[in-house]
Amino acid sequence: MRYPPVAWPVATGARAGSAVEDSEPMHAATRGSWLMVLVLALTLALGLTLAAPASAQDAERSDDTMAQALLAALDVSSFAAKGEAIEAIVRSDDPRARGWLQALLDGRLQRTDDGRFVVVLDNSGRQWPVEDALTGEALGEMSRRDLDRIGINNARRNQLRSAIAVVDLYAADAGLRRASAERLLGEVDGDLAGSLAEVIEAEPDARVKERLLQALAIYRLEQGEVEAIDDLRGSLHPRVRVALARAASGAIESRAAAGEEPTLVEEARSALSGIEQKLKVNRAVETLYFGLSLGSVLVLAAIGLAITFGVMGVINMAHGELIMLGAYTTWAMQQLLPGQPGLALILAIPTGFLVAALAGIAIERGVIQFLKGRPLETLLATFGISLILQQLVRTVISPLNRTVVTPQWMSGSIAINDALSLTLNRMVVLGFALVVFAALMLIMRRTRLGLEVRAVTQNRAMARSMGIRATRVDILTFALGSGVAGLAGVALSQLTNVGPNLGQNYIIDSFMVVVFGGVGNLWGTLVAGLSLGVINQVLEPWAGAVMAKIIVLVFIILFIQKRPRGLFPQKGRAAEG
Amino acid sequence: MQSRSWLMRPFGERSTLIFLGVLLATMALVTLLHVAVPAGHPLYVSAYTVNLFGKYLSYALLAVAVDLVWGYLGILSLGHGAFFALGGYAMGMYLMRQIGDRGVYGHPVLPDFMVFLNWDSLPWYWHGFDMAGFAFLMVLLIPGALALMFGFLAFRSRVTGVYLSIITQALTFALMLAFFRNEMGFGGNNGLTDFREILGFNLRSSDTRLGLFLATGVALALGYVLCRAIVTSKLGRVCVATRDAEARTRFLGYRVERFQLFVFVVSAMLAGLAGALYVPQVGIINPSEFSPLFSIEIVLWVALGGRATLYGAVIGAILVNYAKTVFTGVMPDAWLFALGGLFVLVTVFLPRGVAGLLALRLRRRGDSDASLSAKEAAA
Amino acid sequence: MSFLRSLASRDRVFDFLVPVESPVDVRHGPILYLEDVTVSFDGFKAINDLNLTIDDGELRCIIGPNGAGKTTMMDIITGKTQPDSGKVWFGSRHDLLTMNEPQIASLGIGRKFQKPTVFEALTVFENLELAMAADKRILPTLTARMNGEIRDRIDEVLLTIGLAELRGRRAGILSHGQKQWLEIGMLLMQRPRLLLVDEPVAGMTEQEMERTAELLTGLAGKQSVVVVEHDMGFVRSIARKVTVLHQGGVLAEGSMDQVSSDPRVVEVYLGAEAEEEAV
Amino acid sequence: MNASRRNMPFPVRIMSSPSCAVAAALLAVASYGAVGQALAQEEPIKVGILHSLSGTMAISESTLKDTVEMLIEQQNEQGGLLGRQLEAVVVDPASNWPLFAERARELLEQHEVDVVFGNWTSVSRKAVLPVFEELNGLLFYPVQYEGEESSENVFYTGAAPNQQAIPAVEYLLNEVGVERFALLGTDYVYPRTTNRILEAFLKEEHGIADEDIMINYTPFGHSDWQNIVAEVRRFGSEGKKTAVVSTINGDANVPFYRELANQGIDAADIPVIAFSVGEQELSGIDTGPLVGHLAAWNYFMSVDTDANYDFIDAWIDYTGDEEAVTNDPMEAHYIGFNMWAEAVRKAGTTDVDAIKEAIIGVTVPNLTGGYAAMMPNHHITKPVLIGEVQDNGQFDIVWQTPSTVAGDAWSDYLPGSRDLIADWRKPMECGNFNVASGRCGGSTAAEEAEAVLAE
């Protein structure tokens, strides 16, 4: 079952909407009319409370007893009773209503032990700053022991959102109106439908208008109007599809006379099949995106390894822990810059690189330099280092996961259409992976360091004799590979856990990617990472997540039989040695 | 020495005789201290300790198997845990079937987890495991068959070095994921547990535990002698030749891939045997034994003990696991520092492991296997 | 010369050691026959339409500047590299392109690498033991026992290559020249019909070079020998017929004198050497 | 046998003969009244703690170790038990299941602890179970689990499926009006069993159709949820009110909830009710976008009782971390510890057999303002609470059972266990009594009797 969106009759809403244009303050005498409610709520929403005339303020003050009673009605344990209380608040003309509803929605409307209602401004820690819900006066900090939260559940939350949505439909801000229109899709009832037509007429924003038209069309379809289908054709919104599916199954009785062509069921079916066709394409695009996104994570995790392992021949089992360090750096930056998660994230990019690179230098100087030419022993020593780093994080920071906040500009998704939206955080990570890759290619191809690295890789003795300081090149290469691992960590902190086990989850996958792509070849790593990601995501829907992974592993094993040196093998006699 | 039959050859070596002597003496001593010394006496060896030693010895056998392929054949398998676990599962299936109708649901045939997941009949691959002979044969054959299949493909295509290591890792990782699936019919994450008896002996009695410890000791002795016999035979020298100069060996007319396959399969079977002895002693087999990290750890035991010596592998396995037992008890919060530090220090300062230290004292002329040139170490 | 005589006589004394007579059919012509062989790496043609025939019992020297395709040619003959096109026949019965290295080796083609490749972890004695012609399948290898005859045979070769004193030493500690000798010794143990010898005298003293020259010329006649060498003096001292490779194909063929007077060869060689010096 | 050896009031040499052991045990019990008190002053009572401090499970288990240590400290401040001090014996099984068995044996045999608090995962419990049964130890297991087990030596202070899953789904059906269910879980025994029980429950009791139930399993630590969340989104957009029932374990939750938030799945549209996500897990997630998603537990940190506030304050003081959170398994240890302490007082001894007998029926206050009682099947009574996630990482309790629910060792919704009950009181003393056949199926007691006869 669904909850009716609003309790108040919206029929008068259109008039209220036109009243907005006058923006003339209402007279207190009209108290009780729905018009008044909407406008006052609206004025409040627009932050115009201060501009309200004195007469209204007087009314508010004299209203406090009644407001107290309204809020007290919320303080019951039954959610059904709470629903009625919310309705009563909506029906009241109190200008503070929207604020209360919002506070209630956010769980910040609370009652003190002495029966006063307050809005909690910040509910972290043991002492919470509060303000009076009636007067808005700051009351300082109160202990959470002395406060009782007015709880709501999802049903009430729906009710509150719908109530706020209808209010917002008349808001001046197009963004609010848009959100409100989105919400009304499939939620329009008879009362609202009547006024909606006029709202649509007056609506300046094309998107809001289209949405509202669809919302109305769904309602009309449910009433059996065949013509409504024309407004819905091609829309990918799930609500539209649900309504059409219902119509196609014959659940809706057509209003048109029997025998009249075309019938509702047939029309709905044809509209539906058009939609399904489009959806198929969308799903393919979506799967591709998922695959590329997973692939970009693999590439990021593996590309640092491709440098230390592929170029230097060091099998760095602590690579995962360097990724972890990058992720923890992001967390630390966010702790240092509270309230600015985005800035912290951006600053974490260079810092994470540096932290991991320094750790890498320490590993190289402390251990790896003593193991020159013994690649398998670097595996063993760095495995020991990875154990130490993990436990270090557990001991120094905490064995628990840390919260890394996703900044506003990275959360949510970009809606390409109603059925396809691309998650923003993954898109940023995908872009980031490509940028990191491009930067690495530039470094390896275009800089002195890259040249020296390639020289040392190919013939250490010769490079030395030509005046290249091989030791310095080793340090820099390892630092670069480690730093890139740190960057991977910064990106991963936006997708997954930031905890001591973070690195463990990626180390094996990273090795697979590097080996599949061909050791020593950055392009190979890119292609391997992205293609493994896509293969995995294509397989997942029909094979399941576990089987998909197994199939990919078996595929890699068989592929290596076919091409023992990966996708892009190093060629020539040198590779044989 | 060379004129003896290949299987008897190890008995002519001082190192093998010393090893067998120490092993048998330890077994006898532990048995004596467990049976004849009263509990509470400072010299008393408790059932817990016996069990612990039994576990160490099965790990030691596993390490010997890994050393055979890594030390002598130059194949760094990061997936030997898979063979160990498969042997363990074969044994676990036998032990599960021995429970009979004494499971919690009292089903006469189906193990508890199958009743619990509402299976109505035993999957085909569970048949036969109620017979000890068949099950023990499978302990060797299943890991052997997997090694044969995998090795045939990999060696034929001349997958070498790091590539081989990584795909062995992929192998064990894939198996781990597969065994985690409950649909596989191996108990999923919980694995096989709650065993009651083996060959009619109650697994929860300390006498059975002592018996298992002794059986593991004997298996280790036999496994060691077998490996020693292989590495001291001409075949063993072909292996070393392959490890150091594969192309050269081919040009001498040896089918290198077949030799690799042979030794790899023998090693996998030994690992399976080790797993089968391990399971009744720890009382559980579950997919985490397939974890790639465990396989890496096995390699670490070998490296720590000293590669290409066999006895070094035994020393390494026992040392690391003993350290783990002690550290996790004494310093539960910091034991990973100690273990990690140990790995780093040993690889940096003791490149030839503990056996390298011993070899400095015991070095004899002509004991060619005990030492590795810098090039081999790099291989 | 005594060791040469002993080599020659060995066949008669130890003829049971000769592997089951190599089925190479040389009745109808050469022992090794390469026709129109081409191989390219990444578009670069390392071997380009190469034609070469070696007669049974011949000692052939192959020279050519760096990158002429000498080693690649050896790789093709021994099965290490597959050519893109062409034919490679051993005798008139065996198509080498259908075989892998061990098969080719057991047909009787032995190869000495440019860089001496011996088993460094094994003793000199063991190196020779492994090289010896024997049943090289797994079980026979596993159960193989040492006996007096084998020991004698190895001892003889040890004498021949002058490493008898070092028989128990690990090959890894030998000097470069000693390794070269050991590798030649391993070839001798293999008793091949055709020896491919890549730069046998690199790192050898004058004296050792002389001994090597004697050894190789002594082998020729019963066995075919192909020597790839840079050292012109050495080539001159052993060569009867010389083939000059250039850019993957045969540039000239004939006696040393004929070849060295060929203007194309002079140009290629002098040019190449001049360039090398310039670098 | 070992149990009696452990509790020997004076050194008796026991050879491995059963009759000797039985006699010694009798002697031990008989003499305890007299000698026990005298000895009590000297030796502390040893409390074993068997929680992973390293490896993958450290993230969940390490706080439980701290909890038990805190409880021991508090108990010692109050003068200990029976006039003896308590001493914690901590070992690290390192998230390795065979190591759990080994460490359990070490605790019981080497350290001779009187009681053990420990384990988190089902598999670790299964691994130590034979050890505890063999050596007659006591284990308090604090985590919600799949049920289908009742051991003489284990006390299950976490929730059985009927104390968490079933009430949670009933809440969704009755209060939220959910008609379609997506059951997502990590692929191991707890989610498998819970989902099987729920599937049977939904179909049999509520007539939910097959196509309205979607079941999906993912591996441990699964981190790429894009496809599955997209599938859930589609599953939920077919016009019926849909909810996700999540038995996703541990580390996989963070990426799962992140993906939910990013794909815009709002709690109001498709609520997710989780059985394994508590305050501690939320402390690693940015809960802003998750407000309104649900969890079912028997305790929430936000419970508004003085007992709870005291516990939280003590915890914060103990850890020295202002932001420290408490969670359900911690409360389970709190209850379990107090029950054990109460049973020790009642029995006047720490002897395992005496405790096993004394503890049944022991009632102690829980942190949610009620009481928890130990039932004869070794499970306890618990209230069931449904909480909604708040933006401060806490749960707001939106529903709770009117009274406490007794834990059910054997589910009524699984065909194999329908007829089984557990009752460890005399004379039944059976963990899996089959009421249909009237016999104790495959019980360890019967087997041990056989074993004694055989010897």
Confidence (pLDDT) at A27? 42
Contact: C121, B254; criterion CB under 8 Å: no
Q: Spell out, as residue ranges, where chain A has pLDDT lower than 50.
A: 1-40, 42-54, 572-577
Each residue's pLDDT tens digit, A457-510: 777 778 888 888 888 888 999 999 999 999 999 999 998 889 888 888 899 899
Give the amino acid at D435: V
Q: Which of B55, B102, B118 is facing D447, going by the closest CB pair?
A: B102
Q: Which domain holds residue B271?
A: 54-205+249-378
Q: With touching defined as 3+ CB pairs under 8 A, do chains D and C touch?
A: no
Q: Which CATH class is domain A289-576?
A: mainly alpha
Q: Which of chain D's residues have a Cβ under 8 Å away from the Cβ of B203?
A: 130
The stretch B33-60 carries a mean pLDDT of 90
Give the rounded percent of residues in chain C with a pLDDT score beyond 70: 87
Asked if residue B41 has pLDDT above 70, the reply is yes
- Is B221 part of any domain? no
Structural domains in chain D plus CATH codes: 2-159+326-375 (3.40.50.2300), 162-303+382-406 (3.40.50.2300), 420-454 (no CATH)
Q: Which of chain A's residues have a Cβ under 8 Å away from the Cβ of B336?
A: 387-388, 390-391
Say how many domains are in chain B. 1
pTM score, whole prediction = 0.84
Confidence (pLDDT) at A538? 93
Q: What are phi and psi for residue C247, nearest 5 degrees?
A: 50, 45
Q: Which of chain C's residues have a Cβ under 8 Å away from the Cβ of B243?
A: 121
Confidence (pLDDT) at D303? 92
Provide the token pair at C219.
């082998």
- How close, in Å, is residue B170 to chain A by CA atoms? 6
Confidence (pLDDT) at D41? 53
Spatial separation of the C-alpha atoms in residues B129 and B195, rounded to whole Å: 14
- Is B242 part of any domain? no
Contact: B329, D91; criterion CB under 8 Å: yes
Pairwise pLDDT comparison (A64 vs C23), residue with the higher score: A64
- Is B81 part of any domain? yes
Q: With touching defined as 3+ CB pairs under 8 A, do chains B and A touch?
A: yes
Confidence (pLDDT) at D333? 97
Q: How far is CA B232 from CA B12, B71, B316, C239, in A?
A: 11, 13, 22, 43
Confidence (pLDDT) at D406? 94
Q: Which of D98, D416, D420 is facing B284, going by the closest CB pair?
A: D98
- Is B364 part of any domain? yes
**What subunits touch chain D, counting only 3 or more CB pairs under 8 A?**
A, B
Length reported for chain A: 577
Q: Which domain holds residue C146?
A: 2-278
Spatial separation of the C-alpha atoms in residues A10 and A165, rounded to whole Å: 12
- 10 Å CB burial of residue A443 (0-12, 13-18, 19+) is middle
List CB contacts of C105: < 8 A, sequence separation 6 or more: B250, B251, B252, B253, C78, C111, C190, C192
Provide the token pair at B255.
């089918």
- How close, in Å, is residue D28 to chain B by CA atoms? 16
Confidence (pLDDT) at C277? 46
Say how many domains are in chain C. 1
Spatial separation of the C-alpha atoms in residues A197 and A205, rounded to whole Å: 15
* CATH entry, A108-149, from 1.10.3470, 3.40.50, 2.30.30, 2.10.260: 2.30.30
- Is B217 part of any domain? no
Confidence (pLDDT) at B376? 40
Smallest CA-to-CA distance from B226 within B362, B68, B356 is with B68
- Is B211 part of any domain? no
Contact: B282, D126; criterion CB under 8 Å: no
Contact: A386, B300; criterion CB under 8 Å: no
**What subunits touch chain A, counting only 3 or more CB pairs under 8 A?**
B, C, D
Confidence (pLDDT) at C13? 39
Chain D: residue nearest B189 by CA? D188
Q: What are phi and psi for residue A171, nearest 5 degrees?
A: -70, 155
Each residue's pLDDT tens digit, B122-136: 999 999 999 999 999
Evaluate whether D389 touches D287 at the Cβ level (below 8 Å): yes
Bridge partners (DSSP) listed for residue A363:
none
Spatial separation of the C-alpha atoms in residues D106 and C63, rounded to whole Å: 75
Long-range contacts of A444-447 (CB under 8 A, 24+ apart): A444/A522
Secondary structure, 3-state, A149-190: ECCCCHHHHHHHHHHHHHHHCCCCCHHHHHHHHHHHCCCCCH
Please state, rounded to an integer, the average pLDDT across all residues of chain C.
Answer: 81
Contact: B180, A546; criterion CB under 8 Å: yes
Spatial separation of the C-alpha atoms in residues D356 and D336, rounded to whole Å: 13
The stretch C4-28 carries a mean pLDDT of 50
For the ranges A4-8, A121-125, B30-34, B179-183, the one whose mean pLDDT is highest: B30-34
Provide the token pair at B80.
């030997």
Asked if residue C100 has pLDDT above 70, the reply is yes
Q: Which of chain D's residues have a Cβ under 8 Å away from the Cβ of A102?
A: none
Confidence (pLDDT) at A144? 73
| Mutation choice for C interface testing from B244, B248, B249, B364 by most C CBs within 10 A | B248
The stretch C217-236 carries a mean pLDDT of 83
Q: Which of chain B's residues have a Cβ under 8 Å away from the Cβ of C119?
A: 237, 240-241, 244-245, 248-249
Q: Is A421 near chain D, with CB under 8 Å?
A: yes
D 366-425 residues with CB below 8 A of A? 388, 390-392, 396-399
Spatial separation of the C-alpha atoms in residues D274 and D285, rounded to whole Å: 14
Torsion C81-C87-C91-C93 (CA) sign: positive
Asked if residue B363 has pLDDT above 60, the reply is no
Each residue's pLDDT tens digit, B145-177: 999 999 999 998 888 887 888 899 999 999 999
Query: Considering all CA atoms of chain C, what is the largest pairwise distance in Å, rounded to the nearest integer?
Result: 59
Q: ipTM score here?
A: 0.84
**Consecutive H or E run containing A288:** helix A264-305
- How close, in Å, is residue A21 to chain D by CA atoms? 33
CATH of the domain at C185: 3.40.50.300
Evaluate whether D278 touches D257 at the Cβ level (below 8 Å): no
Chain A: residue nearest C40 by CA? A572
Contact: B254, C102; criterion CB under 8 Å: yes
Evaluate whether A329 touches A490 at the Cβ level (below 8 Å): yes
Chain B: residue nearest A373 by CA? B378
Each residue's pLDDT tens digit, A505-532: 899 899 999 989 988 788 999 999 999 9
Smallest CA-to-CA distance from D67 within D316, D371, D249, D367 is with D316
Give the amino acid at C32: L
The residue ranges of every structural domain in chain A are 108-149, 173-262, 289-576
Q: What is the DSSP string of C113-140?
A: -SS----TTSBHHHHHHHHS-S--SHHH
| Rounded mean pLDDT for each run of 10 residues along chain D, 455 residues in total | 40 39 42 43 87 84 94 94 93 89 92 94 91 94 92 94 92 90 90 90 92 90 90 88 90 88 86 91 83 93 92 94 91 96 94 94 94 95 93 87 91 83 87 83 48 49
Each residue's pLDDT tens digit, A430-461: 999 999 999 999 998 888 888 888 888 777 77
Spatial separation of the C-alpha atoms in residues A538 and A294, rounded to whole Å: 11
Spatial separation of the C-alpha atoms in residues B109 and A152, rounded to whole Å: 52
Contact: C119, B245; criterion CB under 8 Å: yes
Residues B232-253 as b/e (b if ≥16 CB within 10 A, e otherwise) read: bbbbbbbbbbbbbbbbbbbbbb
Provide the token pair at C208.
């050792």
Confidence (pLDDT) at A570? 67
Q: Which of D133, D149, D189 is facing B189, going by the closest CB pair?
A: D189
Asked if residue B61 has pLDDT above 90, the reply is yes
Q: Which of D241, D254, D280 is facing A496, going by the closest CB pair?
A: D254
Confidence (pLDDT) at D380? 96
List CB contacts of A460: < 8 A, sequence separation 6 or more: A470
Q: Which of chain B's residues have a Cβ under 8 Å away from the Cβ of D194?
A: none
Each residue's pLDDT tens digit, B290-300: 999 899 899 98
